[in-house]
Structure 1
Amino acid sequence: MEDLNAILTPGMLVRHPAQPEWGVGQVQSNIGGKLTVNFRDIGKIVIDSSRVALHPVFDP
């Protein structure tokens, strides 16, 4: 599986496809396939990009 999360950079907005109730999150870091995303209502979550393909948000 190709890592589509590799294009995500700090500051980009994303959604978690399996957790829509988390809303929009902002990428804090993307290091070695581990993404740290700050979701407004949930807080910071570390996501393994080999397991979850986050969806970029261009119009929040």
Structure 2
Amino acid sequence: MKPMNSILEPGMLVRHPGAPDWGVGQVQSVIEGRITVNFPEAGKVVIDGRRIELMPVYES
């Protein structure tokens, strides 16, 4: 799994670097490198964490 993906856990907010138009998604699960994220503009998407490094979003 890509380094940044190893810190992801359910409930965290993320962006997909290759699909900024999907908006900020919420991580639903992380299982064996597969990350399920619910994006407002794309719905529920399963991402291969070995190929795509999601960007955590920290809101203040």
TM-score (norm. length: structure 1): 0.91
Number of the residue aligned with 1:50 = 50
Distance (Å, rounded) in 2 between the aligned partners of 1:53 and 1:2: 6
Unaligned 5+ segments in structure 2 are: none
Could you say if the C-alpha distance between residues 48 and 2 of structure 1 is closer, same or farther in structure 2, counting changes exceeding 3 Å?
closer
Aligned partner of 1:13 in structure 2 is 13
Give the secondary structure class of the aligned counterpart of 1:36. strand
Q: Which runs of 5+ in 1 are unaligned?
A: none
Q: CA RMSD in A?
A: 1.6
In the comparison of the two structures, how many residue pairs are matched?
A: 60
Q: What is the distance in 2 between the residues matched to 1:30 and 1:39?
A: 15
Report the TM-score when normalising by structure 2.
0.91
Cα deviation digits, residues 6-52 of structure 1 (max 9, x gap): 11000000000010000100000000000000001210000000100
Check the 8 A contact 2:2/2:52 in 1, yes or no.
no
Match of 2:31 in 1: 31
Runs of 4+ in 1 over 6 A off after TM superposition: none
Q: Is the 8 A contact 1:6 1:30 kept in 2?
A: no
